[in-house]
Structure 1
């Protein structure tokens, strides 16, 4: 009986070679990522750190920045304009989730399965190609005092002709949310339409054979399968609503007075109109923290619920 011995080398040789190869790949990946990280640092993190520093000063855009500690933050929360801006921003969050997202989902469901469904969504998608300022200009023409809407209601003898759409508060905020809905519902319909098209036909056909129709199909088939996409759409809506600026500035500039201004608009006014850069920086930091926390909590909750279901 002959025994053949095969030399395989030290047991750790293969592992160490693999480790060196992994480190080499990591170093190469880091080299490729370094320019992007440097760019992000220069255009995002450094300005935020500078803004955070200014929020603790009384800087006015000229001269030296004197350290004032937390005075800007204390004054911010005791400011009536700040409370109005926070309430209006809350309106924007609720309205932007309920209207553009809700209407977009309804449009996608209505045309789902119809021949040429894209062409039904196209008229609602076109306003998305318009900038926010252009949307504000168009709807200002419609909603201004004695504007197109008022004249149409008066001609048709319908109620509402006496309303001051852009003057009365909080009506002015809600009609601006309506203008944003006109712009954003179409793209949400497109996204939900793509999500519906990706649903496999098997579960839908099985549910229909069991007698499910309408609301039952939506609740038990479409909605659970659209949930990952809905998480993304609603998350983007939350972030966008917290940063609302262009439509409000184009339509009312936060007025009359400060009744329709948002946090982003108040930040702009404090910095570039009142030249209170420290106060504006404090609002910017507060708005950034609120946006990150709100989006993070929402996404974390949705992802944890999805894991629980799976």
Structure 2
């Protein structure tokens, strides 16, 4: 009763907005779920299709390629930006001029993925990396990066790593700065080396920050769209599409709203399931 007396007025102000947001959120999910079971193209009469759209995702080679690319993005985004962010944070922790390097590494994250995509389209062009390779006698490595599968996917992952590693570094630096000094002093007295100290003390103590960083990277890897659309538009021949790009193309380019809705439902379920599994295992291990 005391809680309602103290916060009742504030709740009355926020409740209408919360109800409106919840209504739109739930309605959109239910409508998308309904459309995913139809062959709606936005032009004619909608017919019930059952699970046909979902079955097609695992039978059509275009959608299978999109699933594979999404898996590659998830693994690469978890491994490289997180790993590099951790490595950079450890290197910069006690380095002079730390503020300068923090700003340099964080600068790419201040740019939108659209801007990052434009920058890296130029870098992967004939006047960018290929020009440098030809100048140093490595002409055989100067390929058309964004038009040659699977190198186009790898090239875009490099751009994503460049944009995201700095943020992970800052988060790990915050975590490193908050660690207690006593365990490290005890390890130093016992004669533990740097590698042993890092593996046995630093990493376990950083686990709460690691959970946050990897959780963010996991969600972002599933919804990557703008970088791919700017750099390759999923091409050539839809070879570099992820589920998010395929969903957009099916819905708003090809007007296969039923198929696009099915892909969006699958993508949502997959991201929630993987995130839940990761958090459950991690928190259970912590406990």
Q: For this structure pair, what is the TM-score category when the shorter chain's length is used for normalisation?
A: over 0.9
Q: Based on CA coordinates, which of the two structures has the bigger radius of gyration? A: 1
Which residue of structure 2 aligns with residue 114 of structure 1? Answer: 95
Aligned-partner Cα distance in 1 for 2:268–2:31: 14
The answer to whether residue 160 in structure 2 is matched with residue 180 in structure 1 is: yes
Aligned-partner Cα distance in 2 for 1:24–1:160: 74
Aligned-partner Cα distance in 2 for 1:61–1:300: 40
SS in 2 for 1:292: helix
Question: How far 1:113 sits from its partner (Å)?
Answer: 1.9
TM-score by length of 2: 0.94
Q: Show CA shifts across 1:257-285 (max 9, x none).
A: 01100000000110111110000000000
Counterpart mapping for 1:232-247 below 5 A: 232-247=212-227
1:55 to 14, 36, 54: 36
Which residue of structure 2 aligns with residue 200 of structure 1? Answer: 180
Counterpart mapping for 1:215-230 below 5 A: 215-230=195-210
Aligned-partner Cα distance in 2 for 1:192–1:35: 38
The 8 Å contact of residues 169 and 259 in structure 1, kept in 2 or not, is answered as yes
SS in 1 for 2:147: coil
TM-score by length of 1: 0.87
Unaligned runs of 5+ in 2: none
The 8 Å contact of residues 124 and 185 in structure 1, kept in 2 or not, is answered as yes
Aligned-partner Cα distance in 2 for 1:96–1:159: 29
Question: How far 1:33 sits from its partner (Å)?
Answer: 4.8
The 8 Å contact of residues 151 and 161 in structure 1, kept in 2 or not, is answered as no
Which residue of structure 1 aligns with residue 108 of structure 2? Answer: 127
Aligned-partner Cα distance in 2 for 1:112–1:154: 38
Distance change (3 Å), C-alpha of 1:233 and 1:36:
farther
2:68 to 68, 82, 87: 87
Question: How far 1:109 sits from its partner (Å)?
Answer: 0.3
The answer to whether residue 206 in structure 2 is matched with residue 191 in structure 1 is: no
Distance change (3 Å), C-alpha of 1:124 and 1:25:
same
Which residue of structure 2 aligns with residue 213 of structure 1? Answer: 193
Aligned-partner Cα distance in 2 for 1:223–1:39: 43
Unaligned runs of 5+ in 1: 1-19
SS in 1 for 2:141: coil
Aligned-partner Cα distance in 2 for 1:127–1:68: 45
Aligned-partner Cα distance in 1 for 2:218–2:117: 20
Q: Show CA shifts across 1:53-82 (max 9, x none).
A: 111111112344222221211222211111
The 8 Å contact of residues 92 and 241 in structure 1, kept in 2 or not, is answered as yes
Question: How far 1:205 sits from its partner (Å)?
Answer: 1.7
Aligned-partner Cα distance in 1 for 2:104–2:96: 16
Counterpart mapping for 1:1-310 below 5 A: 20-21=1-2, 31=12, 33-144=14-125, 146-158=126-138, 160-307=140-287
Aligned-partner Cα distance in 1 for 2:141–2:63: 32
The 8 Å contact of residues 96 and 241 in structure 1, kept in 2 or not, is answered as yes
